[in-house]
């Protein structure tokens, strides 16, 4: 895969060395990597090449650098890969419809996923959301959804949802205010697996509130 004839760029070789190092030493999230200067010496390459490798991995979300402290391995699940891709994928003024539509797909997937939780877990989740609502932390329907999907267990999907949410919010009007009755409505729907209401909650949540 990696061409050996037309020799690799130095910064890429550093990336590979780092990978080997990480595997060999069983490094995991939070662990510290050698300093730029040390790596530079150990690998006999310029510090700038090491930095290029580090910057690339940083933009990928694989490492984190803290000024004055060092460079650390990051929890890969936090990768902001999504933001990055979003920045470039959505560049061409993509149809807002596509964004909104895909957002709903993820919502449906997340809701379905949560349906597999047991009753006590669901109860606990909704209770904490109600508390958040009463404390004024959750004020819009999308805040509500965010809390739900964050707990759905698929972090990647949640990240993507957040990006789509941001994009959607920019183009459309302000997010609708949250009625506490809606929380209970959704809770009931989840506990009884009422797919009709769940679907409506994803596609047109405001109608659920007006119906009240």
The residues binding a copy of itself (CB under 8 A) are 1, 11-12, 15, 19, 22-23, 48, 51-53, 55-60, 62, 76-77, 79, 81, 83-85, 87-92, 94-95, 97-99, 101-102, 104-106, 108-109, 113, 154-157, 159-160, 163, 166
| CA-only gyration radius of the chain, Å | 23
Smallest distance from a copy of itself to CB 60, Å: 6
Among the listed residues 3, 66, 97, 173, the single contact to DNA using CB under 7 A: 66
Pick from 100, 112, 99: nearest CA to 154: 112
CA 78, CA 30: separation in Å to the nearest integer? 12
- Candidate segments 46-54, 85-93, 97-105, 203-211, binder of DNA by CB under 7 A: 46-54
Smallest distance from a copy of itself to CB 27, Å: 9
Q: Which is nearer to a copy of itself, 60 or 130 (CB)?
A: 60
Q: Which of residues 67-96 bind DNA (CB under 7 A)?
A: 67-71
Which long-range contacts (C-beta less than 8 Å, at least 24 apart) are formed by 70-76?
70/32, 70/33, 70/35, 71/32, 71/33, 71/35, 71/36, 72/30, 72/31, 72/32, 72/33, 73/22, 73/27, 73/28, 73/29, 73/30, 73/31, 73/32, 73/33, 74/29, 75/29, 75/30, 76/29
Q: Which is nearer to a copy of itself, 54 or 126 (CB)?
A: 54
48 near DNA, judged by CB under 7 A:
yes
């Amino acid at each position: 895969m990696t061409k050996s004839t037309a020799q690799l760029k130095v910064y890429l070789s550093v990336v590979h060395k780092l990978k080997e190092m990480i595997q060999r030493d069983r490094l995991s999230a939070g662990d510290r990597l050698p300093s730029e200067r040390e790596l530079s010496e150990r690998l006999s390459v310029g510090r700038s090449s090491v930095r290029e490798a580090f910057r690339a991995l940083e933009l990928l979300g694989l490492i984190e650098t803290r000024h004055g402290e060092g460079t650390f391995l990051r929890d890969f699940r936090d990768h902001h890969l999504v933001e990055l891709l979003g920045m470039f994928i959505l560049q061409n003024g993509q149809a807002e419809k596509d964004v909104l539509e895909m957002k709903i797909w993820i919502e449906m997937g997340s809701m379905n996923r949560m349906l597999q939780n047991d009753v006590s877990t669901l109860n606990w989740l909704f209770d904490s959301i109600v508390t958040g609502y009463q404390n004024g932390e959750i004020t819009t329907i999308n805040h509500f959804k965010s809390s739900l999907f964050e707990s759905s267990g698929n972090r990647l999907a949640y990240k993507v949802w957040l990006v789509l949410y941001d994009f959607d919010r920019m183009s459309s009007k302000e997010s609708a205010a949250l009625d506490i009755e809606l929380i209970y409505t959704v809770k009931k729907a989840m506990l009884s697996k009422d797919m009709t209401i769940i679907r409506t909650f994803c596609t047109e949540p405001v109608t659920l509130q007006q119906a009240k």
